[in-house]
Each structure stands twice: as C-alpha cells, then as structure tokens.
Structure 1
Amino acid sequence: MCAREVEIDIERALFHPSGFGSMWTDVCPSEGCFGRHTFSLFGRKQRPVKRPLPPAKHPYSWKHGSEQGGFDLKVAAAVAAALGKKLTIQWFETENEEESFPDREANALISAGLCDLVAGYPMFGGALAEPASETALLPGHEGQNPATRHQFVELGVLAPSRPYHHAPLQVIVGPKGWGRLIETLSDLNGLSLGAEQGTLTDTIFMAYRAGYMASRVIHVVPQSGILSRLEEGAFDAILIELHRFDAYRRKHPDTQLRATNYRHALGFNMGFVGLKSRPDLLAQVNDVIDSLVTEEKFAPLADSVGMTFIPPNEPEILDRISPGHLFGG
C-alpha cells in the first residue's frame, strides 16, 4: 500500500459517521437530529426546533428541548464573553451516513452567513484545504426557511484558530483486560478486538503489522453501540475516541469497562474554524484561547461536563496522515 493510497483511505475514514467525524455529532437516531452546532459571536435569532431530540448528554455538545450544553458550548460561551459579544448557537441537522461530509456542511453554514465560527473542528490539513468543489448543499438547520432546503452555497476557504484540546483514540477494555499493561497495540495479544466497520480504528486494527491482529477483529455496524457490545462481552477491547467513552461512562456510572493508559499515536487537535477572509476575528479568538490556556480554564470546563481534558499536542495542525502515524502504535 503506497503512502498516497493510505491518505485517501484515511480521509474517508476520518469523516465516517463513527470516525473522527463523530466529533461533530451527537449520538442520534438514524433519521438525524439537530446535533451539530455552529457559533455566531454576533448573534442571529433562530426559531426553536419543533422535533424532539434524544436526551443523551454528549460531552462535546447536546441539545434536548430548550436545554443544551457540552464542552464546546462552554468554550464558545467563554470566548464570546471575553470578546464582549452575544453568543447564538445554530444547531443543524445531520444524517449518520457515509455520504455525509461534515467539513463541507460546516463550510456551507459559515459561507452562507448563518454563523461565524464552528467549534470542535479537527485541526487536520485535509479538513482545512481549499474546498474540493465550489459549492455544497446547505444542511438542514434550526429555523431554516423551507425555501432554502436543497439550496447550494458557494464555499469559501476555511482557516483555523489555535486548538484548545486534543481528541485521542484510546484503548478501552472489559474485565479480561483489567490490569494488563498496554504500551503498544501488540500488548492486546490474546484479546478479541471490536471495531466499527469502515472507520479509522478499523483501518488501524486491520493493517497493524501487516494484519497481525486481523483474525481477532470482530466487526460491528457503526452507530450500533460498540461500547454496549464490549460491556456484554462480545469482545475484550476496542480502540475508540475517548470522548465517546466519557459519554458512555457518564450514562453508565457502574460500567465494568476501563480506559487503559494507551493512546494511539494518531489523534487530532480540535479548535474553531472560520473563513480565511476574516483574519481579524480569528486573531481575536486566538488571543482569548491563549488567555484561557494561561489561566488554566479548559480543564475545569471539561470536568464540569464529565469529559477527560487532554491539552493540544504538537504540531497544532496535522498536515497529513502518514503510514507512520497510522501503524506506529
């Protein structure tokens, strides 16, 4: 497998609904929900959405009726307050489908003027490059005029803020893995492994050391409750985005699952993204992020929503995913 082929495969896995693209979505039913969010620091009044939302409180963001919360919302509120701006949250509709492209949807919302910034955006070169197409379909969003459904929007070029946290992939084990020292993926030898088919972790498991673990991987359908399956004993260990385990642990405080100390070499810093044509706004946001880092504000915000806070890693933006990143664990 050549390096270019690896990059193509990983780009697809990154934006899979259960890959790192899930960082932009709450766990929601297959018909979709208003679970992604964007932030306007200059305030735009939105009508309330009338369809019910699931009550799950995702550590990054969630909305149920008039209630909403999550780490990214708290960060956005802190940034808006520091800038002296009113914060308005634009929730938008998403489908848990492979055809969903969160980067294009976020760009369309910003380019259409529905918001100024998107929070919780992966600092990855592929997600920050010039758009592959000139236009994208505007996703369904809260307060949407029916006349704008199926409307295409001319896309701008996105630019990132400084990251404010890191989102790692972490090994989670059931009782059979308790007490095991896991320093590399090879230390999972003897354990059965669960993976959501077609995701980044599936690629990592199946390709590790030329298929060393492939015979022990049990595939499940994405969005079918892989943590619950692990709890039931369908397999012994999984590699998953840490924020998903945080959400599960909050909902199931008596869980028998444990997070190991092993984090895969491939993870993504997360931050805000806005239009490259608005450098002054991004500069102001960066100043606030720097101040919040100095004042050590991010960890308490994460703790208040039951999320494990991991500070950003170097480099701030991962330009490309090499075979070394992918298979070096």
Structure 2
Amino acid sequence: MTLLTTPFNRDTTADEVLHGVDLSGRRAVVTGGSSGVGLETARALARAGAEVTLAVRDTAKGAGVAAEITADTGNTQVAVAPLELTDLDSVRAFAADWQGPLHILVNNAGIMALPELQLTPQGWETQFATNHLGHFALATGLHRALAAEGGRIVAVSSTAHLYSPVVFEDIHYAQRPYLPIEAYGQSKTAIVLFAAEAGRRWAADGITANSLMPGGIRTPLQRYAYGDDMSDQARAVYDSYPWRSAAQGAATSALLAGSPLVEGVTGRYFQNSAEAPVIAPEAIGSDLEPVGVAGYALDPGAARRLWEVSAAAVG
C-alpha cells in the first residue's frame, strides 16, 4: 500500500495545515487542551471556525486558555468541560453530558515516565490508565455522537511506542520490574492499536480513527523524564533532541482532525504530517526521533485483543 503524503513537513505549523479550511459547523473536543500540543491544536481548529471544547482537569486554567484562544482567533465558540481520565465517573459524565453530534475527538492528554509505579484505585498502571484506558472509555462513550455525522478520532501517540509493545501478560506491572519509559511506551503503543481497531470496527458508522507522533516539544509532559535533577546522560539527550515548537507539533493533529486531504483515511499512523512507514523498534537506538511505526503497534490481532481487554476493564 502506498503511504499517504501531503504538501506539509515537520516544520509546518497547525495553522498552515488548516489554512483555507473552513470548519464552521464542526464540533471538536480536545483533551488536555489547555497547554502544549493540545492548546495549539485547539487554537488551530478554532481559527478554522470549529466549535471547540477543551476537556481538562483544571477548569479554571482551561477557562483562561479558552479566553486566550477566543481573543486570538475571534472564535467565541470555545468552551471548557471537566475531564479526569483516570476517573471513570468523570469520563462517563463527560460523555453523558455531550449533546448532539461530535465531528472531531482529539485524544491528546497524557502523562510521561512517572518515576515510580503508581496505580489507580482499579489497580491500573497510571500511564496506561491515563493515556489509553481513559481515552478508550471516552471514545466508546461518545460513539453515538461521533457516528451521527461521521466523526474523526485523532489519537496522539509517540515515537516512544518503539520502547515497548503492550505486554498483555502483565500490563500493570504486577510481576515485572517497573521501568518509567517502558511503561510510557506501552501506553503509547496501546494508543496506536486503539486507533487501528476503532478504524476497523467503526468504519461502517462513518467514523475514522488515526494515530500520530507529534514530535518532540518542550512542554510539562517531560517534567519527569527531563526534570531539574536529570542525569548527565538524560541532559545530553535533552540538549541534542530535535525539538520543535508546539505549533509545529500540533500540525499532524490538525491535519487528521480537519484537513480534507485525509478524508476517509482510517486506521493509520502519521508523523510529520504524512503516513509513516513500518520500522524496526531498534531504530530508536540509532535515531532520537526515527520516522516510523512498529509493526506490533498495527498488528490486527493485538488490536482486537487490546480492545477486548480495555472494554472489560472500563465496563
């Protein structure tokens, strides 16, 4: 299959991707939309005319960001709603409160490399719970709204998925030693698998789902992996990493959320505003930001298995 390409690249910004695109009448939800890539994704969607809801933990901060986006874009249809992804009651309340169709769901919120193993009250490893299970529950809870007028799901993953497949035998580290970046990688692989399976299961409903790597951006996400007390090795990686701006990092999310160039495209993984090739996981050892997706992250059997495990977990 030929990989999908676009006129854009790693230096393109979200606004450039959506330049000339009219999203008036389209309704979008962006989780984690009050900072970093989520903020710039929400801003670009609002500038293109979409009605945008920032789904965030801190609604006071979200309200300030919504006001900032409105002042910047002139779009007054920017709202804020509470969402705590590790709290299923919060996720279910958000889905239950949503009225009418949903055209764009950007599963953007996430946490990275918690230094010590943390479990939710259900016994779920917190990165897996936040990055995958909470978003899984949100998407399935909003399925009817997404199906109403053929919605798009945009699932934000990471090159870090190359660090680990989903280890079904011990997802939540009950038996194996906890490694922060491995756990983060497992959760990001789950995101790719979710998008692949949602694309398959929900195609008949007119819903598309794609995952992406936004690129490395200096945001609060890295506070554990690259904190003030980082090792010399981590400092060397931090200083040499090919960082980009948040607006550039949001470009691929904006492409999948609103561009006509990917209309009807589903179940694929994108990077630098183009579909990425399958590569070996070992590539992450030779390149700080390799372009590509691990075969295990698109494996149909693993995608089906993860869906069943996730559905059983969130009820």
What is the TM-score normalised by the length of structure 2? 0.29
Greater helix share, structure number: 2
More strand by share: 1
Structure of greater Rg: 1
